[in-house]
Every structure is written in C-alpha cells, then in structure tokens.
Amino acid sequence: MKVNGKDYLTVWMEGSSVMTINQPMLPHRFEVVALPTHRDTAEAIKTMVVRGAGAIGAAAGYGMAQVFAEAPADEPDRSAYIQDGYETLKNTRPTARDLFYSIDRVRAAADAAAEARTIAAEYIEAGRRIGEIGAELITDSMTVLTHCNAGWLAFVDWGSALAPIYFAHRAGRKVSVIADETRPRCQGSRLTAWELQQEGIPVKIIADNAAGLLMRRGEIDLVITGADRIAANGDVANKIGTYEKALCAKASGVPFYVAAPLSTFDLDCPDGNGIPIEQRGDEEVLYATGLTDDGKFTRVRLAPEGVEAINFAFDITPAELIDGIITERGVIKPVIDEIDKVAVR
C-alpha cells in the first residue's frame, strides 16, 4: 500500500531487525521503527506499536525467528533460550489467534527465518484474495461501515475488512466509508481514516454510539469488520463494540460480514465462550492522547481523579448475527460444517 506515493508493508525484516510502522504516532506522524531483538518485537506487540491480527501474526513470526538467531549454540542453554523467547512472545496479546499460529509454525520449522518470511507472504496473498472476493459484495454508490482498523496497517498488506473496499474502489466503483472512532484507542478515527485518505476513498468518522442511528435511517448499506479469533462454531472475537454493531445491523436489516484469513480460525475453541478476552490498563479509558495546535503530543485526563475503568479490548459476536465470513477461499457461512472444511489445522 502507498504512503505519500511510496509503497510500504506494515511489517518486514531488514537484517536481524523487525521493521514496522509506529502505529501510535499515526495519523500525525509517519515513523518506521526497528526492533533489533525478539524482546523489542514482543514489547512492540504488547504496547500496540504493531497491532491487528495479521500484522501481529507476521511480527510474532519474525520475532520467533529472532529467538532462534539469538539463541546460544550449545545445549541446554539453546533450548532454554528458545523456550523463554517463545513464552515472551506468547504472553503479549492473549486474544489474537494469529500470534499463536505464527510462533508455533516458526518454532516447528527447520528454517525459522524462511518460515517467518513465508507466513508474511501468505498474509499478503490472503489480504489480496479477501479483497478480490469481498469486493463482489460492494456495489456502486454503497456506504460501508467499519469498526476499529482492519486495513493494511492491521495486516501486512491490503488488510481484511478494508481490502474489499480497496478492490472495489480500484475497480472504479463509487464507495464511501463510515468509520467508527473505536474508543478507547480510536483506531478507526486515527488509522482507518488515515489509510482511506491515502487511498483517496471518501470517509467520515462517527462516534461509536452513532452507528445504530445511521443504520436505522438507511444511511449504511453494509458492515464489514475484521476478527482477532474465530471459534469453531463461527463466533467471532473482535474489537470491543463489534457485538453492538452486529446487533444494530440485525435490527436494521443491514448485512454484517466479517473478513479474516483462515489462520484466524481456532478449531480448538468450540465457541466464543472459550476465547480469552484481553483486559488492558485503565489509562486507555481514563486518558486521551493527541496532537496540540502547536504540534506537540500530549496526554489529557478525561475522567475524575480516583475513578477506575473497565477496559476489555475485545468482545464476542455470536455466529447467528453474522451473514458471512470473507476468507481467501471464499465467503463462508459461520457454521461448524463450512468452517471445518476450510480452516487451517
């Protein structure tokens, strides 16, 4: 994807360093950061310097390759180092299925670095195919609602939920986007709006609680979100607030689709009740960070002193609220039989 006319991936390797776009700086500053060790990569995942299901998966895979490259040659120190590095990466983001998928694959491979590069390339191809397939759902002059950021910043390239929009736009169809701000980290207003602006796609930001009104008024034609983990029965874990959007869509007769690669499916998890839900720090809800008029980043407190917050990062959308899941192998129904035929084992 392009930034100011130049092609970028979200995550890549240069030498022994993982390179990634510093997402907390966006949209106000575009910055590429180098992560020289697996501990740096793990910290970047944990602090959401790199975020989004596919991007986390690729970064974690590269991080696992770093573990192997850093490990001492002699046993038993080598095995102990590899196990410790694996646990460090594993414990960064508990909900994201792609993280576990990638580090397990790299750990089991004969050539860790080659496997990590293969996984990243597979994410690029999956995003491209999701875009091609999902674009068929988008007709001329549609308005599409998105929640959080599931574009190329959240993948390696193309994205999941935004990929169909990119392909429809490049095919010449008039498509506009309504982006939920997605509190508390505002990935919709900061990242999705910035991505779409780079692509030249019309986008408007709304408060999270405004989507239901717009659906009821007939001003949204389609909802597409991403996913961080999909259970064997089709229940979906995604950014907090997705469940509410699905309920509003069902009540208003608006089609609701999820876009995700097959690596996001977790056949070992029978339903959404078994998906671990990450709970993040209170400060994300109690404070906001942004750019002042004189160009300085600053943090301000929104809530009264002494008040605590509840900050779940994800929620579960039941399969019965989802019209279809857009994968690199087609649009499937969120039911056990269809998922079982295509999911990665």
Query: Do 122 and 155 touch, CB atoms closer than 8 A?
Result: no
Rounded Cα gap, residues 9 and 24, in angstroms: 17
End-to-end CA distance of the chain: 30
Residue 108 pLDDT grade (very low, low, confident, very high; cuts 50, 70, 90): very high
> For position 98, what pLDDT does the model report?
97
Global pTM? 0.96
Say yes or no to pLDDT of 343 above 90: no
Task: Classify residue 80 as left (phi > 0), alpha (psi -120 to 50) or beta.
Answer: alpha
- In this prediction, residue 123 carries a pLDDT of 97
Query: What are the CA-CA distances from residue 333 to residues 136, 265, 318 (Å)?
Result: 16, 13, 13
Phi, psi of 227 (to 5 degrees): -155, 145
What value does the mean pLDDT take over residues 38-53?
A: 97
Averaged pLDDT for residues 66-92: 97
Q: Grade residue 15 by pLDDT with cuts at 50, 70 and 90.
A: very high
Q: What is the mean pLDDT of residues 98-116?
A: 97
Residues of the chain with CATH 1.20.120.420: 2-126
Which position among 157, 221, 228, 235 bears the catalytic label? 228
Q: Which residue, chain included where needed, has tokens 């999902």?
A: 134
Read off φ and ψ for residue 36, nearest 5 degrees: -75, -20
Q: Give the architecture (CATH level 2) of 2-126.
A: Up-down Bundle (1.20)
When pLDDT is averaged across residues 328-332 and rounded to a whole number, the result is: 97
User: Looking at residues 229-245, what average pLDDT do you find?
Assistant: 98
| pLDDT tens sequence across 155-203 | 999 999 999 999 999 999 999 999 999 999 999 999 999 999 999 999 9
Q: What is the pLDDT of residue 170?
A: 96
The per-residue pLDDT of the chain, averaged, comes to 96
Q: The tokens of 11 are what? A: 């995550």
Exposure string for 61-100, b = 16+ CB within 10 A, e = fewer = bbbbbbbbeebeeeeeeeeebbeebbebbbebbbbbbbbb
Q: pLDDT at residue 325 above 80?
A: yes
What tens digit of pLDDT does each residue of 264-281 get?
Answer: 999 999 999 999 999 999
Under the banding of pLDDT at 50, 70 and 90, the label for residue 5 is: confident
Is 228 one of the annotated active-site residues of the chain?
Answer: yes
- Provide the pLDDT for residue 4: 83
Strand order in the sheet with 11-14: 11-14, 17-21, 32-35
The position carrying tokens 């991080």 is 63
Q: Given pLDDT bands bounded at 50, 70 and 90, which one contains residue 1?
A: confident
Percentage of the chain beyond pLDDT 70 is 100
What pLDDT is recorded for position 234?
98
Q: Parallel, antiparallel, or unpaired for β 17-21 and 229-231?
A: unpaired
Please, which pLDDT band fits residue 2 given cuts at 50, 70 and 90? confident
Per-residue pLDDT tens digits for 282-307:
999 999 999 999 989 899 999 999 99
Q: Where in the chain is the domain with CATH 3.40.50.10470?
A: 136-342
Task: Indicate the class that CATH gives domain 136-342.
Answer: alpha beta
Beta-strand pair 222-225/142-146: parallel
**What confidence tens digit (pLDDT) does each residue in 216-233 have?**
999 999 999 999 999 999
Closest by Cα among 233, 214, 192 to 336 = 233
Please check the confidence at residue 344 and state whether its pLDDT lies above 80. Answer: no
Residue 6 banded pLDDT, cuts 50, 70, 90: confident
Tokens 């019309």 map to which residue?
A: 202
